Structure 1
Amino acid sequence: AQGDFDDVVNQQELLEGLLSTVNQTIDTQEKHNERKDRYMAAQSASIDESRQQIDDLHGQVHELKQQLRNQDKLEAEVRELRQQIKKQQQQLELQKAASEASSVTKRQATHSASAKKR
C-alpha cells in the first residue's frame, strides 16, 4: 500500500510539474499573442496611414493635371492674343503706309498745282 501511495504522490508531483509547465507555456503564448496583436495594430495603423498618403497623392496628381490643363488653355489664349496683336500691327503698318502714300500724293499734287500756276 505504501508503494501505491508513493506512486500516486510521484504521479501527482509529475502532473503538478506538467501543469506548471503548461501554465508557463500558456503565459508565454499569451504574452507573445499580446506582442503580436500590438505589432499587428501598429502595422494596420501604418497601412492605413500609407493608404491615406496614397489617396492624398492621387488628389495632388489630379490637381496638378488640372493645373496643367488650365496652363495649356492659357498658353493657347496667349498664342491667340499674340496672333491678334500681330494682325493689328500689320494693319497699322498698312494704314501708315497708305497714309504716307496719300500724304506724298497730296504733296505732289500741291507741288504740281503750284508749278502749273507759275
Structure 2
Amino acid sequence: MIDRIRRLGYLAETAAPDVADAVRASLQKSIASGTDPDGKAWAPRKGGGTALQYAAKAVAVAPIGTRVFVRLSGVEARHHLGLARGGVVRRIIPVDRIPRAMAEDCIKAIADHFHFVMAGGV
C-alpha cells in the first residue's frame, strides 16, 4: 500500500499523455461542430459555407512533463483572436478557463490512472 501511495507522486506525469488525448479529442469535437470550446456556435461566414474547416490541423496538443500545452497556428490563430480580415472572433481553443466538458474528460483520464495505481498496476 505504501508503494502505491508513493507512485501517486508520479500520477500527473504518467496521466499527462492521456489528458492530452482527451483535450485533443474535445477540441476536435468542438471544431467539427463549428463551435468554440464552450459550445457557442461560430459566427457564420459572409459568403456561406463552413467556417475554419481545416482548423483541426492548426491545433497542436502535447504533454510536457505534468502539463498539457495547446498551440494554435496559422490563419486560424488570427481568426481565434479576431485579427483576420473582417475582425470576426471565432474561438478555437480555451482562453481563460477550461470548459466543463473538457475538464470532465481530463478528470476521467486522471481518475483512470489513479484507479490503476491503487489497484496495484505498475
User: Please, what TM-score do these two structures have when normalized by structure 2?
Assistant: 0.23
Structure holding more strand per residue = 2
User: Please, what TM-score do these two structures have when normalized by structure 1?
Assistant: 0.24
Relative CO higher for 1 or 2, CA cutoff 8 Å, sep ≥ 6?
2
Structure holding more helix per residue = 1
